[in-house]
Structure 1
Amino acid sequence: YPPRSCPQGQAASQSTTHDPAQRVVLMLRERWHFCRDSQVLLGSRALRERHLGLMGYQLLPLPFEELESQRGLPQLKSYLRQKLQALGLRWGPEGG
């Protein structure tokens, strides 16, 4: 689903159209995405997240350590459902 461009001078979050689609990007964050021994994103990663945010996407960072700790598909689905609900989003067509 390609993102729509923003009218000049209007932020994506202030769009006047009522688009039912919710644009979310699941951002897998691995250790090598950060500067050494810190929680500061590398420039290319920070720029990517900034651009996606400006295009109207909601970013959902997923730390690799948290994903790796999930045991099996049911637990992983539950983890992702909780993350999406924290953003106020539904899981699937019926929210289930």
Structure 2
Amino acid sequence: MATSCSHLDQVRDVIPSADGCEDCLRTGDRWVHLRLCMTCGHVGCCDSSPNKHATAHWHAVGHPVVRSFEPGEDWWWCYADELGFEVPGAAPSPSHG
């Protein structure tokens, strides 16, 4: 496991694709927590959710870095490096829903 994320060069200034998991909203499913892809803005559900859409998005398109899209949380995760971290100066996730 890496000690630092080597994929921050893929982080962009993104606009969230939805106020909830965009895939669950499309199919009428439920989610537990949300993750925001920091490459394209896809909002997907976490691995505690039945469909695990955030991880599925990583496998499908290869965007490795997500951040929590839960209000007030500011942690990030890199799937490729299997590493959780915080980005100094990054604002907490906005309120949504």
TM-score of the two chains, using structure 2 as the length reference: 0.28
TM-score of the two chains, using structure 1 as the length reference: 0.28
Structure with greater Cα Rg: 1
**Higher normalized helix content (fraction of residues):** 1
**Higher normalized strand content (fraction of residues):** 2
